[in-house]
Every structure is written in C-alpha cells, then in structure tokens.
Chains A and B, each alone.
Chain A
Amino acid sequence: MRVSTSQFFQQSVESMLARQRELSQTQQQVADGKRIQRPSDDAAAAVRVLDIKESVAQLQQYQRNADAATARLNQEETALVGVENLLQRVRELAVRGASDSLSDRDRRAIAAEVREQREYFLQLANTQDANGEYLFAGFTSRTRPFSLDAGGALQYAGDQGQRKVAIGSTREVAVGDPGTLFMDFEAAAGGTTDIGSVLSNLIDNLESGNGYPQALADIDTAFTELYNTRAKIGARMNAIDEQKTANESFLLALSEVRSSLEDLDYAEAISRFNQQLTALQASQQAFMQVQNLSLFNFLR
C-alpha cells in the first residue's frame, strides 16, 4: 500500500491530536474530581445524579422542618410544665385553704397568692414564640388568645387550628395544640369548666366563703388534660427523633450512590493520565524521528 507524503504527515498529526484530546479530558477529570464533566459523558448517570440531588435536598428540608418542629414543641412543653407546676402550687394552696383552722385573714392571704398564680397562668397561656406568634391560639396566632371575663372565666379568642409540618415524605407532625386544651373539660359539679374558672372560683371561695368543694377534683381533671397533651407532645418528639434518624440513613445511602456515579476513581484516573502522557510523548518523538527521513537527503 502506497502512503503519500501528505497522508503520512496528516495521519501522524491526527494521531498526536487524538492523544492530546484524550489527555486533556483526563486532566479535566482529575482537576474536577468528577467522572462526569457534562451530561453527555453519561446521560443515564447524569439524570440519576439530578434525581439524587433532589432527594437529598428534600431530606435536608425535612431535617430542617424536624428541627423547627422540635424547637416549637419544646417551647410548648415548657409552657405546659409551667402550668402544671402552677396548678401543683394552687392545689397545695387549695388544700391549705380548706383547713378549718385558718382565719379569714389567712384565707385572704392565700387567695392573694392564688390571684398571683392566676395572673401567671394567663401569661403562660398567652406565651409567644420568638416570632411573636402565640403558641396556644390555633391559626389566629397573632391575636392574643386568652383573657378573663368579668366573672373570672377563661375566654378563648383563638380557633381549633393545629399547624403541621412534614418531616418525611409521608409523615407530618403537629407542632402545637390549640388553646382549647385549657378549656371545656368536665366539671365535678356537672357541665364544663376551664382553668380560669377553677382558679377564679377558688379565689372567690377563699375570699368570700363561697363553697367550692370540687376544687381539688377540678384541679385534678385539669392536670389530666395537661398530662394528656404533654404525652402527645412526647410522642410527637419521639416520632420526630425516629424520623430524623431514618432521614439521616437515607441521606447517607444517597450520598454513597451519588459518589459512586459521579466521583472520579483517582487511582484509575491518574494511572490513565500517566499512560496517555507517555503515549503522547511517544507519538511526538516518533514523528520527529521519522519526518527527517527522506531520499532527498541522500541526493546530492
């Protein structure tokens, strides 16, 4: 087979250009640490990586939601613990106040403290978070939910709405409870009562001698409501912890898959780089040695 001189040069140059192209591509991979420079390098893997990035972003969002939920639930719990402690103190006062050996003045002194506690209860029921949202107002969270009417009963201006956030793809958790938990529980004397009324009735009893024999029973019912709500909060926080742990495992698994698709195997890449470097150098040297050969060198 004849090889024309220009064909000969052209092939040698083509060959060197091809080696350079390969070397340049490997160099780019090594510099980036990525096997896939652009989607066309591996279309299926590139789209898979997009999918994974999206799933990862979602899971990270769920973790953020979970953290926000935990923070809010902690706040709620703190407020409710405050109310429980308050009721515990009021219970003690109620027991003491029921003793026959107290004078009117003593009873009035106890009543004064119950008044203080009632004030404190209102503050706790109207707790606001860092954003200024009332924790126990339902959806109308910028409107102060609790006040006492003229008769000392608790008035609730909020609604029954309960905010939920997503902590997993199919899991949501409530981040609060509407203020109705302080309202409308069964009174020992029949009908319904609320914590405000209980405290107010106790104050009346101590100050004016109006009988309130159901005081302890009603306080205990209130405790039960609070315990129930705190149990729910506890359950929610457990659920959040569980889900967060699960999310973490998903995240880890996903990042492993992504790495296997996208990341460069440095050992393989660098040895490939060296091979290609050698190939380029060899083709360049071969070219130099051969291009000098010509019969015209020998024609005088």
Chain B
Amino acid sequence: MAGIINIGVSALNAFKRQMETTGHNIANVNTPGYSRQVVQFEARPAQVSAQGYVGSGVDAGAVQRRYDQFLADRVREYSASHEEFAVYEQRARQIDSVLADASAGIDDMLQQFFASVNDVADDPTSIAARTVMLDRAEQLAGRFNALDGWLEDIRHHLNRDLGNQVDEVNEVARSLAQVNGRIINLAGTPGGIPSDVLDERDRLLDRLSGFTSISTVEQSDGSMNVFIGSGQALVVGTTHNTLGLVDNPAAVDRKEIVINQPGGISSNVTSQMSGGSLGGLLRFRDEVLDPAQNGLGRVAIGLVSYFNEEHRSGMDLDGELGGDFFANAAPQVLAHRSNGAGSNIAVALGEAADLTGHEYELRFDGTDWTLTDLHDGSTVSTLGTGTALDPFVADGMEIVIGSAAAGDSYRLRPTRGGAAGIGLLIGNGRDIAAAEPVRSAAGSANSGTAVMSGGALTERNGDTRLAAPVTLTFNAALNRFDISTGGSVAYDPASDSGSTLTVSLANLGDYSFTVTGNPSNGDVFELRDNAGGVGDNRNARRLADLQNANLMIGGTASIADTYGALVADVATRTHQAGSAAGVQRHLLGQAEAAKSEVSGVNLDEEAADLVRFQQAYQAAAQVISVANSLFDSLLAAVRR
C-alpha cells in the first residue's frame, strides 16, 4: 500500500510540476525571446521483488528549455544584416528623394540659370535681362547652399545617433557581464541554471546584434564571451569593455568608434564594425553621405571655376574687364592633431576637370610625401616637388609644402566645402561681362576675300585693355600675318581657311579668332580695344556654351552630367540597399520561424497539455484513493 501511495504521490507531484510549467509557458506566450519549457519525466528505478522488477513511480526531472543555439545564432546573424541594410536604406532614401526633386535639386535651377545667360546673349544691352541673370545666379548658389546645409544636418544627426547607439551597446555589454556572473554562480547549484536567466541573456544578445554583428563563444563555466568587429572582445565572463565615440584626429566632424581595452589601450575599430545599425550608419556615411556632399561640392566648384575663368576674359557694360562672377570655396585641409607645431601646407584648386570628389590623406615620412586616395586606399602619383613654383599637382589640387616634420599627415577634402562656399559676387547687372575686350576690323583697302570672324580672349593673363590697335598684315610670300607688335602668325589660305589663329596681346592675354578665305598681299586686319562695344554678346555666348561643354571628369562630362552621376550613384545605392534589406528580411523571417518552431509557445498545444495533465492528475489522485480504500479493506479484514 505504501508503495501504491508513494507511486500516486510521485505522480501528483510530477504532474503538478508540469502543469505549473505549462501555466508558465501560457503566461509567457507573448514574452519576446522566451523559450518554451518542458518538464522531463523520469521513471523511478524499479524495485526488485519475487516477481521481478516492479516500477516505483515517476519523478519530475529537470525543467528542460527548448532551445537551439544554432538557430538562435542564425536569427542574430540575419537580424544584424537586415538592420544594417534597413538603416542604410532609410538614411540614403532621404538624400535620394531630394537630389532629383525639382524644387530642391540642382538640375532645374542650373537650366534656368543658363537660360538667363542665353537671354543676356540675345540682348546684351538689356538691363532687365542682366538683372534676371543675377537673380538666377543667386538662386542657384542658394540652392547649392541649402542642399549642403541639409546634408550637414543629416551628418549632425548621424553623429548624434552614433553616440547614442554606442552608449546603448555599452549598457547591454554591462548587463551581459552581470548576467554572466549570475549564470556562473548558478551553474554548480542543484537546480541548475534557470531557463529564464538564459532567456534574459539571449534577449540581451539579440538586442546587441541589432547594433552590430557579434559572435559568441560559450565557456565551460556557463558564461558567454561576446566578440564584435573582427574579433575584439566586448564581454569576457563577468567583465566588459566599453566602446567610445571619438573625433577623427584630423577631422573633428568625423566620428570614429574605439574599444577601450584593459590597460588603457584604445583601439580604433571603425572599419571593422559591420552589421547592425552601427554598421549601417557607418557604411551610409562612407558610401552615400560623404560622396554626396563631396560630389555636390565638385559640381559647384566646377561651375564656379570655369564660369569665373570665362567671365574674367570678357568685358562689362562699362568697359571694364570681367571679375570673378561666383565666390568659390577653398579645399579643406585638416591637420592631424599630432602634427609638428610649426607644420603647415597650402592646398589650392588646380584644374577642376581633374577633381574626383574623393577625400585624401597626405603623409610625410621624413623624406617623402605620399598622397593616398581614401576612397579606395590607392596611392596617387603627383607631379611636382611641393614648392610654391612647382607644387604637387594631382586630381585637381595644387599642394605647396610650408614646413613639415616626420610623421605629419593631413586629411584633404578638396570639394567638401564647394556647395556651401558658392555665392554670387556680382551685385550690378552692368558688371556682367557679356562682351569681349577686343574687336577686329578689316582694312577698308583690302582687296582679298579673307574674312576675320568670331574672336575671343581665350587666356587672360593681364589687366590692361588694349591701348593701341594691333595690326595684322598679310605676307603672301611667307603665308603669314605679320603682327605690328612683333612676331607673326602663320596662315596659308590654301590649307588654313576656317582655322583658328591666336595672337598674344601684351598685359591682356591671348586673343583667338577665325580667318576664312584668301587675303591679298598687304591686306590688313586690325585688333582694337572694344570701347563702347555694349552690343557685343560674344563672351555671353561663350558663358552660355559652358552648359554643354565637357568641362569635368577629365573632359568627359558637363556640369549637369556630373550632377546626374551623383544622383545615379545615390539612387543605385539606395535601391540596392532596399533590395538587400528585403532579402535579409525574408531570411530573417525564415530564421525566426525556425527558431520559434523549437522555442515558441503554441497556445493550443499548451491547452492540450493542460487537459492531458489534468486528466493524469485526476487519475493519479484516483490511484491514491484506491490505495486508501485497499488499506481500509485490509484494516476491515483484520478488525475484531
């Protein structure tokens, strides 16, 4: 009887334990990261008897946690990838939708500006047309400024978000270390490690992989070591390292992530951080934000450089030589904070066609200077020696070394400030240089058929208008025009008709013009100062032609094409990130489904279990009741 009662009681206890567990599962059906718990029943060892071995009941064994480490790791892996692409796409989308927008983007405004230049070319003496051109120029510059300001805003928020997320990672790391501690303490105890504590650690790890990709290694004492980046330890047992956000030693607006390790060592892990929202933000910065701002700056600088150059070779309504039309931004030169105290260099804009829109590092090892393109890490070969008369020339920059110490380095951003720095310098429509400073006239006694046409100052190198006319006399015997100020320019009517000739005008520049036809010996053409030539539109035409000229990217793209390339780049990256995020979302969904297949709670299943164990409990209770009545029967049998 005792045996039967014991068996019954063991059953009651076991089923009660199971129902508690089932109740716990039901209560936690919506708890994120909860792993379903199941009680393992173990049959008690059999007792030996004359009839053989007889069972002695059931024990509730350990509460088993339904969990698969591999599945959980996979969920974290895809979660990190998905988060990275999702964050990247979300930020990139902001830039993408603005760049091509008609009211915020550049291309419409650029067209309107050049349309106004054309209108001045149609009607150079019209003050109204000139005023409109200045208005449009101002609007265009303003549009560049606004776009750049907006990109700066995005950068500001990015830096702030990096800071916040680094703080959160540190929070989670601290909590993980604490949980590890609790787990180590509980590891040896008879109850084992509670499933819920393990679930808590899992939740912390899940949260962490939302910020960055992690890898985990379980230790024999039950603690979990967590590694980030390319293997830097974040949590080791009960200790943790912290991440920090610091300024780049050269560029204070560029934040870098460091990991503070024991012994006061701080290593920069920015380039190793991948996955999660930190990875997404860093990649977005490197692949979209920086190139967008630098690319926009390149468009602005290209426009300003070539427009100014052309404008300066013209003459305005008051007969003055053209000045700079737009203000330009100088290249940004950022010195590493550990540079020598007196070290300095100067970087000026060279040929805008050679600008790449990349950022550079210039480093001095004591003897040689090395220029590295930070876009791909390649070394850029330079011409020149770095002196003021022979600067280093590369990729649109001209670098002059002031003084240097070994180990000096500089971060160069030639186009970064371009869009913020563009501005209109001309305030009065009369100052627009629509005319050329020189005009030509054929001698009235000319008997040949030659015609001189066009004419433009193509290279200005002085500030003095032509004081006295320069005469070109045709020398038929030598097939050339003799220049009254000295020298000559070759012209063979048989082969050179229609070609462009150039004459150097002292203290002004080179003047180019076209000669067609057959001059007679002694025919003269005169180049004179274009005084009063307010109806001349030649320079305005040349300014208008800049719109289509392939000025940029080594002479292969126009200003608008360069902007178009920027739009395309951002658009493609945004699209790719969106597609990748979609794929990762799908993979993540599958991984989560696989994980919850093992660890998730199904209410119907729990309900069925409740019914099952309730019945079992009732049956076990009945066993005790039967044992009791057996005992009563026995007692009744031996009562007097």
Contact = CB atoms under 8 A, between A and B. Distances in A.
A160 B575 contact: no
A192 B535 CA distance: 28
B597 A38 contact: no
B86 to A, nearest CB: 13
A159 B441 CA distance: 7
A38 B603 contact: no
A50 B532 contact: no
Interface string B101-115: 000000110010011
B387 to A, nearest CB: 42
Interface string A51-63: 1011001100100
B626 interface: no
Contact of B607 (A7, A39, A163, A296): A296
A220 to B, nearest CB: 22
B100 A295 contact: no
13 contacts: A38-B97, A39-B97, A39-B568, A41-B575, A43-B572, A131-B123, A138-B535, A139-B435, A140-B533, A160-B442, A163-B537, A166-B121, A295-B607
Contacts of B610: 299
Contacts, number: 187
Given A2-B600, A68-B123, A160-B440, A39 B571 contact: yes
Given A133-B125, A139-B435, A7 B600 contact: yes
A288 interface: no
A58 B547 contact: yes
A165 interface: yes
Interface string B421-440: 00000000000000100011
Nearest to B558: A54
A38 B100 contact: yes
Given A7-B593, A160-B441, A165-B121, A57 B111 contact: yes
Contacts of A57: 111, 115
A295 B603 contact: yes
A138 B442 CA distance: 13
Interface of A: 1-7, 10-11, 14, 37-41, 43-44, 46-47, 50-51, 53-54, 57-58, 61, 64-65, 68-69, 131-134, 137-143, 159-166, 169, 172, 184, 192, 294-296, 299
Summarize B's interface: helix, strand, loop or mixed. Answer: helix
Nearest to B576: A40
Contacts of B93: 38, 40
Given A43-B575, A139-B536, A50 B567 contact: yes
B596 A141 contact: no
For the complex of A and B, 4 pairs with smallest distance between CB atoms: A4-B600, A141-B535, A39-B571, A139-B533
Nearest to A166: B541
B564 interface: yes
A88 B604 CA distance: 112
Interface string B588-615: 0100110011111111110110110000
Contact of A40 (B118, B537, B574): B574
Given A38-B100, A131-B123, A161-B535, A4 B560 contact: no
Contacts of A140: 531-535
Summarize A's interface: helix, strand, loop or mixed. Answer: mixed
Contacts of B107: 50, 53-54
B616 to A, nearest CB: 16
Contact of A139 (B453, B535, B605): B535
B530 interface: yes
A65 B531 CA distance: 26
Interface of B: 29-30, 36, 92-93, 96-97, 99-100, 107-108, 111, 114-115, 118-119, 121-126, 435, 439-442, 444, 453, 530-537, 541, 544-545, 547-548, 560-561, 563-565, 567-568, 570-572, 574-575, 578, 589, 592-593, 596-605, 607-608, 610-611
B433 to A, nearest CB: 14
B122 A68 contact: yes
A14 B561 CA distance: 41
Contacts of A39: 96-97, 99-100, 567-568, 570-571, 574
B444 A192 contact: yes
B567 A47 contact: yes
Contacts of A137: 535
B600 A139 contact: no
Given A7-B596, A160-B442, A131 B607 contact: no
Nearest to A3: B602
B541 A6 contact: no
Contacts of B592: 7, 10
Given A53-B108, A141-B534, A296-B603, A131 B596 contact: no
Given A5-B601, A299-B611, A161 B125 contact: no
Contacts of B567: 39, 46-47, 50
Nearest to B607: A295
Contacts of B599: 4
A159 B538 CA distance: 15
A169 B548 contact: yes
Contacts of B96: 38-40
A242 B92 CA distance: 47
Contact of A132 (B125, B442, B453, B571): B125
Contact of B568 (A11, A46, A134, A161): A46
Given A7-B593, A46-B568, A160-B439, A143 B532 contact: yes
B532 A43 contact: no
B380 to A, nearest CB: 28
Given A47-B568, A50-B107, A161-B530, 16 more contacts: A1-B597, A7-B597, A39-B100, A39-B567, A43-B571, A47-B564, A47-B567, A51-B564, A61-B114, A64-B118, A159-B441, A159-B530, A160-B442, A164-B541, A165-B121, A166-B544
B602 A2 contact: yes
B536 A61 contact: no
A176 to B, nearest CB: 8
Contacts of A3: 593, 596-597, 600, 602
Contacts of A192: 444
A69 B119 CA distance: 11
A64 B453 CA distance: 24
B126 A131 contact: yes
B453 to A, nearest CB: 8
A199 B536 CA distance: 31
Contacts of B111: 53-54, 57-58
A192 B608 CA distance: 121
Contact of B119 (A10, A64, A131): A64
Contacts of A41: 575
A6 B600 contact: yes
Given A3-B597, A65-B118, A161 B439 contact: yes
A7 B590 CA distance: 11
A40 B604 CA distance: 45
Contact of A50 (B100, B124, B574, B597): B100
A5 B600 contact: yes
B588 to A, nearest CB: 11
Given A39-B570, A40-B96, A184 B444 contact: yes
A139 B319 CA distance: 12
Contact of A294 (B36, B531, B541, B604): B604
Contacts of B444: 184, 192
A1 B548 CA distance: 64
Contacts of A143: 532
A10 B593 CA distance: 10
A5 B603 contact: yes
